[in-house]
Amino acid sequence: MTDRAANDTLRPASGAGRPGAVADQLFPAEPGVRAIARELYGHAKDLPLISPHGHVDPAILAEDLPFPDPARLIVVPDHYITRMLASQGVPPADLGVPSLDGTPVESDGRVIWRRLAEHWYLFRGTPSRLWTERVFREVFGVETPFGPATADLVYDAIAARLQEPEFRPRALFGRFNLEVLATTEGPLSDLSPHAKLAADGWGGPGGRVITTFRPDDLVDVEWPGWADRVRQLGSLTGRDVSSYAGFLDALRVRREAFLAAGATCSDHGHPTAHTGWVSDVDALYRAALGGSTERAEEFRGHMLMEFARMSTEDGLVMQLHPGADRNHNKALFARHGRDVGGDIPTATDYVRGLRPLLDEFGTDPRFRIVLYTLDETTFTRELAPLAGGYPAVFLGAPWWFLDSPEGLRRFRETVTETAGFYNTSGFVDDTRAFCSIPVRHDVARRIDAGFLARLVAEGRLPLDEAAETIADLAYHLPRKVFRLEKNS
């Protein structure tokens, strides 16, 4: 703001309110409830972290090299951060986000870092602020408050830490008390980082670092290059993918490879929750190979049926993330491509969309599906009733824009009364920011503690059961829901 200086003499009355001071962070303010929350949190805070769904690059842990500079670690790959800066006129290129056509972008980490610091006030009240400042303090031990005046100081301190052996990925993995971390790969991935991890005793079935089967780019015929990727799938598996049957077989072959790399889950990011068999799927498939995208939505819905069927056979837990209008920001997409903050949520109909899938598999004891949403209106109206009715359905943690203190709180407030706690999946960090994992889980544990504390304070749940519940939510439930009980 123009006259920020006018307020420069303002100082906090005390240490209270400084995000660094996290002892009671995120707990309800009322002292009685806060005391209960603190006690409940004590039953969860030291439990190992289960990270069943995320986007950490497995090469990081396979190679265990030092992280790059602070800007490349914390700013460049984080679309929460780059989109907020873009929204106030700082182009992603000025933050080092790679361009599709190779146009040079900012390459000086320190310059990127200063740009972040200069606009740090934009993040007030956001989870990015919370996560980032706690990472500075708790992961890197940097207590200096972050801002324009201290940008270099913080940069240098973190950069120095990143050179130390205790800040290598595997060392941090141990320090974070991570029990198991699932990464996400497409069927065309050769999974070589996971092979290296297995060789080192870190990966494979039951391992500490495992993969997840994410076939979207082979299922979405509207995604440019689909037919080429299908051909690659054929080469990789030695299957004849000119027919739908061969395509399906090739996908099965890849699922086996993913199972061998420890996968316990598949993951599916679709524009909608539409499901349903297509009667002439071979014809549809061949037309798509010939370039037709007309029936893309039908094909995606059909493939969800197929993947559900495969899940009943091979036991992979299905995860569905529908409802993003991808690449909404045309200019951003043209310059920087996918997954850089241009996706916007849309209203999603789970009830009609999933009906065919649930009719066929919803009560099959071998099948399990975890549903995520960007559309909060579905929490009470659709998702809690579905999860509270079908044995196969679990509710995933609040996702993406909803993975935030208020989002997590509203999730429990809207879902619990119909689905209870035990039809939810436990927290999922869904992040590519490895260093933020412990903070994200801690935020979820604190919010759950606060919600449960309110139930206790309002005479709705005894304290002992609340304590048991928070431990279940933090640890036991995700292990069970995502079939990770052998991983440790």
How far is Cα 50 from Cα 209, in angstroms, rounded to an integer?
Answer: 11
271-301 burial code (b ≥16 CB/10 A, e <16): bbbbbbebeebeebbebbbeeeeebbbbbbb
Least Cβ distance, residue 47 to a second copy (angstroms): 11
420 binds a second copy (CB under 8 A): yes
Among 304, 467, 474, 484, binds a second copy (CB under 8 A): 467
The residue among 287 and 344 lying less far from a second copy, judged by its C-beta, is 344
Helix axes 437-457, 31-42, angle to 10 degrees: 130
Backbone angles phi, psi at 394, to 5 degrees: -125, 155
The residue among 261 and 415 lying less far from a second copy, judged by its C-beta, is 415
Structure tokens at 395: 């509710």
Least Cβ distance, residue 139 to a second copy (angstroms): 18
Least Cβ distance, residue 212 to a second copy (angstroms): 23
Among 139, 308, 386, 474, binds a second copy (CB under 8 A): 386
How far is Cα 138 from Cα 99, in angstroms, rounded to an integer?
Answer: 33
Contact 369, 319 (CB under 8 A): yes
Least Cβ distance, residue 420 to a second copy (angstroms): 5
**Region 225-284 residues binding a second copy, contact defined as CB under 8 A:** none
Give Cα 423 distance to the centre of its chain.
19
Least Cβ distance, residue 275 to a second copy (angstroms): 13
Among 99, 242, 293, 380, binds a second copy (CB under 8 A): 380
413 binds a second copy (CB under 8 A): yes
The residue among 301 and 426 lying less far from a second copy, judged by its C-beta, is 426
Among 267, 306, 382, 429, binds a second copy (CB under 8 A): 382
Stretch that binds a second copy, among 52-60, 213-221, 259-267, 340-348 (CB under 8 A): 340-348
Least Cβ distance, residue 365 to a second copy (angstroms): 7
How far is Cα 384 from Cα 64, in angstroms, rounded to an integer?
Answer: 41
Among 232, 242, 272, 329, binds a second copy (CB under 8 A): 329
Least Cβ distance, residue 470 to a second copy (angstroms): 10
* CA quadruple 156, 162, 167, 169: dihedral sign: positive
Least Cβ distance, residue 384 to a second copy (angstroms): 7
The region, left, alpha or beta by phi > 0 then psi within -120 to 50, assigned to residue 191 is left
Stretch that binds a second copy, among 97-105, 202-210, 275-283, 405-413 (CB under 8 A): 405-413
The residue among 184 and 414 lying less far from a second copy, judged by its C-beta, is 414
Structure tokens at 123: 């993040």
Comparing CA positions, the residue from 460, 178, 219 lying closest to residue 322 is 219
Among 298, 312, 461, 483, binds a second copy (CB under 8 A): 461
Contact 348, 373 (CB under 8 A): yes
326 binds a second copy (CB under 8 A): no
436 binds a second copy (CB under 8 A): no
The region, left, alpha or beta by phi > 0 then psi within -120 to 50, assigned to residue 483 is left
Least Cβ distance, residue 248 to a second copy (angstroms): 25
Contact 57, 185 (CB under 8 A): no
The residue among 102 and 330 lying less far from a second copy, judged by its C-beta, is 330
Contact partners, residue 464, CB within 8 Å, separation at least 6: none
**Region 120-159 residues binding a second copy, contact defined as CB under 8 A:** 121-127, 130
β 178-182/209-210 pair status: parallel
Among 421, 427, 434, 482, binds a second copy (CB under 8 A): 421
The residue among 4 and 104 lying less far from a second copy, judged by its C-beta, is 4
Cβ count within 10 A of residue 42: 12
179 binds a second copy (CB under 8 A): no
Least Cβ distance, residue 143 to a second copy (angstroms): 14
370 binds a second copy (CB under 8 A): no
Cβ count within 10 A of residue 460: 10
Stretch that binds a second copy, among 10-18, 59-67, 212-220, 312-320 (CB under 8 A): 10-18
Least Cβ distance, residue 423 to a second copy (angstroms): 6
Binding mask 40-59 for a second copy (x = CB under 8 A): ---x----------------
Among 117, 316, 384, 439, binds a second copy (CB under 8 A): 384
How far is Cα 280 from Cα 284, in angstroms, rounded to an integer?
Answer: 6
User: Which one-letter amino acid corresponds to residue 299?
Assistant: F
How far is Cα 344 from Cα 272, in angstroms, rounded to an integer?
Answer: 13
Residue 249 burial by Cβ neighbours in a 10 Å radius (0-12, 13-18, 19+): middle
Among 358, 433, 449, 484, binds a second copy (CB under 8 A): 358
How far is Cα 144 from Cα 19, in angstroms, rounded to an integer?
Answer: 12
Among 309, 418, 432, 483, binds a second copy (CB under 8 A): 418
Residue 125 DSSP class = T
Least Cβ distance, residue 437 to a second copy (angstroms): 19
Contact 379, 350 (CB under 8 A): no
Residue with tokens 């146009």: 103
**Region 81-120 residues binding a second copy, contact defined as CB under 8 A:** 83-84, 86-89
